[in-house]
Every structure is written in structure tokens, then in C-alpha cells.
Amino acid sequence: MRRFKSVWFYWYTGHKNIALLSMLLNTLIMWLVLVLGAGLSIWGILIAVLLDALGFWMALIYLAIRHNLTGWWSLQEKVDQLFITQLLIPFLVSLVLSRVSSFLVAKCLGYKFVG
């Protein structure tokens, strides 16, 4: 599990080429699968790629405060559907896919993993 680092790990450790190629690969794969295949919005995917693990925390916060956001049941269902399809699914897919794509790009570019 130590080898599956975030894109931002490579960015801040000076391996910007690995980070940028990983983000590009992640965006391309998610665009093909989620936008073309499932009909989701590209904006959720771009936000998910850039914000990485923040989506996990956003989901937890939303679940904690969701009953306070809307009072009507029908509106609650629409907000839940919007949140799940446009934010939660892209964030969760991106969380896993970004780690895997970062690992594969780093391995292809000859990055030496420690440990």
C-alpha cells in the first residue's frame, strides 16, 4: 500500500512530470468511463482529479449534515441524487484510480520506490 501515493505526493516531492502525467491519465480514463459510458458531468471529474481525497471528507460531512439541508422529502431525494451522481461517484472512482495511475506512471518512468 505504501507505493500507491497520491498525485500530490509526486508533485510536492519534485516529480512534477509523474504528477501531471498521472492526472492526465486519470482524467482520460474517468472521462471515457464516467462521461461517455455513464453520462456523468465532466466538472465533477475535473474537481475529483484535482482535489483527490477531499471527496471522501466531503461525503462524510454531507452525510452528517444532510438532514439539515432540506426540509421536504422530495427535495432531499433530488439533492441526494445530484450529490451522489455528480460528486460522490467521481470522487470515489478518482480516489482509487489516481493512486493506481500514479503508481503505473511512476513505475514506467523509473521512479525508485523506497520500502
Burial bucket for residue 61 (CB in 10 Å: 0-12, 13-18, 19+)? exposed
Over the stretch 24-67, which tens digit does the pLDDT of each residue have?
A: 998 888 888 888 887 777 777 777 777 777 777 877 888 787 77
Q: How confident is the model at residue 105 (pLDDT cuts 50, 70, 90)?
A: very high
C-alpha cell of 53? Answer: 481525497
Alpha-carbon Rg for the chain in angstroms:
16
Q: What pLDDT does 70 receive?
A: 61
Over the stretch 65-79, which tens digit does the pLDDT of each residue have?
A: 777 766 666 677 777
* Mean model confidence pLDDT for the chain: 81
Residue found by looking up cell 504528477 in the block? 19
